[in-house]
Amino acid sequence: MTIGAGLYVFMLQQKVAAVLFLLGALAFATMQYRQRYEGTNQTILRLRRIQNIANILFVISGLLMIDSCFQFLAPLFSNRIDYIQFVYNKWVMTLLIAAVLEIYTVHRLSAEISKIKKS
């Protein structure tokens, strides 16, 4: 996922990089979704839900990145300016939101799990 984003940003094989990013985002989201928490701690359950939202945003970022290369959503807009204003290169925003949510949940989950192990 990181390699795909880096290649895309530095404009090296953008079409391949976008597909690579999407595949990485799908693999990452699947891996995190398959991790189960069997406990009843409400804080951890809430953090897991936030993490799932971040995973969805990672996948949306990949789809928008592919759209920036192939512009398959462009025909849905009446003119080019609307497409550029609402869709083109908006993957950066969804990726930023997903990354912030992911960093927050990882640190909070780590703290909560260590707190549970201490008690």
pLDDT tens for the chain, 119 residues: list them. Answer: 666 776 776 677 888 888 899 999 999 999 999 998 888 899 999 999 999 999 999 999 999 999 988 988 889 999 889 888 888 888 899 999 999 999 999 999 999 989 988 97
Residue-level pLDDT at 36: 87
Whole-number pLDDT of residue 9: 67
pLDDT at position 65 is 92
Give Rg (Cα) of the chain.
17
